[in-house]
Amino acid sequence: MDAQTTAVVTLLEVATWAKMSGMSLTSQSAIAPVLSHFLLFFITQYAVLKLYRIVIYPRFFSPLKNLPGPKDGFPLLGQFLQILTSNSPNEPFLTWSALWPRAPFIRFLRAGNHETLLINTPEAHREVFHTYYDSFEKPDFMFRWVGDITGWGLLFAEGEEHKRQRRLLQGLFTVRNLKRIFPVFSDKAEGFAQRLEDSMDEQGCATLDVASAYLMSRLNVTSVTIMGLELDQLTARDPEWDFVSCYRRIFHPERIAGMLILINAMVPIRRLLPVKAFSDHTRAMAEARAIVTECVRQRIRDVERAAEKGKKFQSVIGSGGSDLLTMLVEENQRQHQGSLDKLAEQELVDQTLTFVVGSHATTNSALVWASYILAKDQSIQDKLRSEILEARARKGCETLLWEAIDRLTYLNNFVREILRIYTPTVTSYRESTKDLNLCDTFVPKGTLFYFAMNVASCSKAVWGEDAGTCIPERWDSLHDEAADPYAFQTFSQGPRICIGKTFAMMNIKTFLVEMVHRFRFVKSPQMEALGGRAPELQCPTFTYVPKGSLEVVFERI
């Protein structure tokens, strides 16, 4: 935008200069002097403008300059290098939050000295995500980071388009519909547990890399519950670029590749830097979209053929069950018949990919960290197992239905505590679309806000000195700010709260119920070697997961 503005101003200046000099712009002799003056004026003015924006404005004239924030940045790069090279995706932000625990917003500088505000307190989260939610949008670079794979689904839709999409999708996530999906969660959890038991040695033990095993297991569950197909049923154009390999390349890249992808989101360099990390990432996104597009097209055909015969299409979930894509296509057909709004094919693809990415990111991360905590703290594990066994005894059955699982208080507290400390999604950004006054702070239009999900949920000022410790009992009696919904932002809050929250909780709880009642989680030699330290984290990343493996020992009960 600065370059375009400067170019227009320069054209007017050159035209004025030529007229005052009595020079005809159409003459052959005028080309060289006009071009040289244009370049001279443009380069000089553009350099001055950038000097003002990058150096002078943020330091001397910005209305945000006096907000609390770190001062240890690099010239022209601010705190960007510190964020990029940190050992944890949220390490710098948690450090700053601890330094200024009561500041609603903390100012830091990204590359190019672009001012960014970290949303810090529950009150600030409420202002951004509820009170003035319609005065914010996701910035363009977020789409370059995530949107290339999810498209313009519910995650990136704004304003009236977001309201339209949410209205069309809301019915998918009713309790009645989710109960149709629950059997697959239960069956897949039982199948995973049985395979683990079959792999045990004579002492009834098995060591499992939960980071890798859960990634594959949860991705398959996600595929079946959302698209109605097992992973090996998803047709790829190239076997070397199947859905699993594409997913790994996109969301679990090597550290250098992850850094380049993050830099490209901030400054689009992908086309200027033809490196393998970019070409692989780009192709992986294209191949994944192609696989899901074919799946959506086939499902539309299947539903239409079944409707012509007066029947309902049945996916692999089986009789009486369904998957989100089938329900979405069926609902879309009903909308069309009633001459109401409906989702186009591309929108169906975008929504499906949004559901896949959102669901898998949450459940995979949560279950990895749940297993880690259960292995570390046997008392939590014992209480959880006792509650599950008591519920099974009351019901007199081996398998608990969702109604019974959802009433397990300690399980609910444990899952929320895991999601509070180990918030699966690392970050998001919002950008103000107009001047605002937030928490008595004037914020000009175009200000960027950084939303680190676990900043409020891990704040000692909100949750106490033991904020970083897993204590499920704390949820029995939350006090003061901790009782504020905006102190727990795992699924966001306000009008844009995660539409699939209950879906994710059902997935996580069902798996834990099956695993905890059958196995004891024990520290592996790898965990013992950490000596109480937390595992090294993947960084930069989309989701909060360990770097490399995380081994847990499972013992048959």
Give residue-wise pLDDT tens across range 467-505. 999 999 999 999 999 999 999 999 999 999 999 999 999
Residue 556 has φ and ψ, to the nearest 5°, of -65, 135
Measure the CA–CA gap between 107 and 67, rounded to whole angstroms.
Answer: 6
Measure the CA–CA gap between 264 and 144, rounded to whole angstroms.
Answer: 8
To the nearest whole number, what is the mean pLDDT of the chain?
87
3-state secondary structure of 526: helix
Residue 269 in this model has a pLDDT that exceeds 70: no
Residue 152 in this model has a pLDDT that exceeds 90: no
Higher-pLDDT residue of 66, 9: 66
Is residue 498 marked as binding? yes
Mean pLDDT, range 387-396, rounded to an integer: 90
Cβ 476 vs Cβ 417: under 8 Å: no
At 337 the pLDDT is: 56
Residue 458 in this model has a pLDDT that exceeds 50: yes
At 14 the pLDDT is: 75
Give the amino acid at 504.
A
Give residue-wise pLDDT tens across range 87-122. 888 889 999 999 999 999 999 998 888 899 999 999
Alpha carbon dihedral 404, 410, 411, 412, in 10-degree steps, equals: 90
At 130 the pLDDT is: 95
Give residue-wise pLDDT tens across range 340-371. 567 888 889 999 998 988 888 889 999 999 99
Give residue-wise pLDDT tens across range 169-186. 888 888 888 888 898 899
Give residue 81's pLDDT band: very low, low, confident or very high (50, 70, 90).
Answer: confident
Residues contacting 375, CB < 8 A, separation 6+:
381, 521, 522, 523, 524, 527, 552, 553
Count of CB atoms situated within 10 Å of the CB of 529 = 9
Facing residues of 543 across strands? 425
Size of the chain in residues: 557
How much of the chain exceeds pLDDT 90, in percent? 48
At 319 the pLDDT is: 46
Higher-pLDDT residue of 340, 229: 229
Count of CB atoms situated within 10 Å of the CB of 295 = 23
Measure the CA–CA gap between 182 and 175, rounded to whole angstroms.
Answer: 10
At 257 the pLDDT is: 65
DSSP symbols for 129-175? IIITGGGEE--HHHIIIIIHHH-SSTTT--HHHHHHHHHHHGGGGSH
Residues contacting 503, CB < 8 A, separation 6+:
173, 178, 181, 225, 359
At 121 the pLDDT is: 96
